[in-house]
């Protein structure tokens, strides 16, 4: 059994289901990448894994424990860190305050963890007193990822961490995500930059209309002619 298993998740926001038996999995130290067209339900699947979407069917388990009925806050305590696609930093708060907010569930000393975040993202140490809203897009994403790392998650979930950043900043961010995975954290990530993301993915998922369309290693998906033609622009 994989560290995170989201099995046959079915559910939506109201009457109609958005997810239809959507299944995702990732092990410790691995990177799983979800790609697919706009509106495919990628963010919805992330919300479902994090407990923000009521499931009509299916289940989520983490490290062998069924957590399907846990609230998002309980899932954070269970080891999940989530960086949502939008509004993922507190713009009027300083970088340091954002990281402190990330540690909200901890009652121990979190300064070592903050040091780890600063060594992963050195620019954040430099800008620690600056409001997050004054940072560049790429720096803000670093704050968002850093904030999620403050609870020392065993699973880090990232919804489009490279949205709106330049190709160079994207490459840098992917290198950091590889570094985080190498520490043994499981990474579940949604990405628009499908080629580049699948290139670093141990597991790849192509979602279409809330369903698993293709599932394989990142490498195999990149080599699959149909995936290339339909989802990667040839
Ligand atoms: N809060 C919501 N209430 C109702 N419907 C929603 C809500 N959020 C998303 N949806 C709908 O669910 C479907 C899937 O949306 P979702 O945001 O999961 O797609 P996505 O794959 O993340 O797209 P994108 O690539 O644009 O981020 C869409 O039809 C969307 O309109
Ligand atoms: Mg989305």
Q: Which residues line ligand 1 (CB under 6 A)?
A: 13, 18, 36, 38-44, 85
Compute the distance from residue 21 Cα to the ligand 1 centre, in Å. 16
Q: Whose CA is nearest to atom 8 of ligand 1?
A: 44
Q: What is the pLDDT of residue 233?
A: 82
- Extract the tokens encoding 18: 């958005």
Percent of the chain past pLDDT 70, that is, above it, reads 100
Instruction: Name residues whose C-beta falls within 8 Å of residue 107's C-beta, 6 or more positions apart in sequence.
Output: none
Q: Would strands 31-35 and 57-62 be described as parallel, antiparallel, or unpaired?
A: unpaired
Ligand nearest to the CA of 159: 2
User: Cα of 68 to ligand 1 centre, how many Å?
Assistant: 21
Residue 1 has pLDDT above 90, yes or no: no
Element spanning 176, H or E: helix 167-182
Task: Find the 18 Cα to ligand 1 centroid distance in Å.
Answer: 8
Is 38 a residue whose pLDDT tops 90? yes
pLDDT in tens, 108-142: 999 999 999 999 999 999 999 999 999 999 999 99
In this structure, which residue's CA is closest to atom 6 in ligand 1? Answer: 13
Q: Give the global pTM.
A: 0.96
The position carrying tokens 């402190």 is 100
**pLDDT for residue 14:** 87
Taking residues 60-73, what's their average pLDDT? Answer: 97
Q: What is the mean pLDDT of residues 8-13?
A: 97
Q: In a 3-state reduction of DSSP, which class is residue 72? A: helix
Q: Would you say 199 and 218 are in contact if contact means Cβ atoms under 8 Å apart?
A: yes
Q: Which residues pair with 24 in a beta bridge?
A: 6
Nearest CA to ligand 1 atom 14: 41
Pocket-testing residue among 12, 33, 43, 208, ligand 1, by greatest number of atoms within 8 A of Cβ: 43
Count Cα atoms within 13 angstroms, Cβ side, for 104: 10
**pLDDT higher than 80, residue 194:** yes
Q: How confident is the model at residue 154, as a pLDDT?
A: 98
The mean pLDDT of the chain is 96
Residue 69 exposed, middle or buried by CB count within 10 Å (0-12, 13-18, 19+): exposed
In this prediction, what percent of the chain has a pLDDT beyond 90? 94
Q: For 142-150, what is the mean pLDDT? A: 97
Q: What is the mean pLDDT of residues 43-53?
A: 97
5-21: average pLDDT: 96
pLDDT at site 83: 97
Give pLDDT, residue 117.
98
Q: Which residues contact 52 (CB under 8 A, 6 or more apart)?
A: 72
Neighbours of 183 (CB within 10 A): 11
Residue 164: pLDDT band (50, 70, 90) is: confident
pLDDT of 234 higher than 80:
no
Nearest ligand to the C-alpha of residue 34? 1
Lowest pLDDT segment from 35-44, 144-153, 161-170: 161-170
Model pLDDT, residue 159: 97
Give the mean pLDDT of 139-146: 97
Give the chain's domains with CATH numbers: 1-78+153-160+178-234 (3.40.50.300), 80-148 (no CATH)
Secondary structure (3-state) at 207: strand
- Does the pLDDT value for residue 15 go beyond 90? no
Sign, CA dihedral 73-75-80-86, equals: negative
């Amino acid at each position: 059994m994989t560290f995170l298993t989201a099995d046959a998740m079915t559910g939506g926001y109201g009457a109609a289901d958005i997810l239809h038996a959507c299944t995702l999995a990732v092990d410790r130290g691995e990177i799983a990448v979800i790609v697919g067209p706009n509106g495919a339900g990628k963010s919805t699947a992330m919300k479902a894994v994090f407990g923000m979407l009521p499931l009509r069917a299916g289940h989520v388990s983490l490290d062998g424990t069924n957590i399907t009925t846990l609230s998002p806050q309980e899932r954070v305590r269970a080891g999940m860190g989530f960086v949502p696609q939008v509004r993922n930093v507190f713009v009027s708060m300083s970088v340091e305050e954002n990281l402190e907010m990330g540690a909200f569930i901890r009652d121990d000393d979190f300064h070592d963890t903050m040091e780890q975040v600063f060594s992963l993202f050195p620019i954040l140490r430099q800008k620690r007193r600056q409001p997050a809203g004054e940072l560049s897009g790429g720096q803000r994403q670093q704050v968002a990822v850093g904030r999620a790392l403050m609870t020392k998650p065993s699973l880090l979930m990232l919804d489009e961490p490279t949205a709106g950043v330049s190709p160079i900043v994207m490459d840098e961010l992917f290198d950091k995500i590889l570094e985080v995975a190498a520490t043994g954290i499981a990474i579940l990530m949604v990405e628009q930059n499908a080629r580049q993301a699948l290139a670093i993915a141990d597991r790849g998922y192509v979602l279409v209309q809330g369903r698993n369309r293709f599932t394989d290693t990142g490498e195999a998906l990149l080599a699959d002619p149909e995936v290339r033609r339909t989802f990667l622009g040839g």
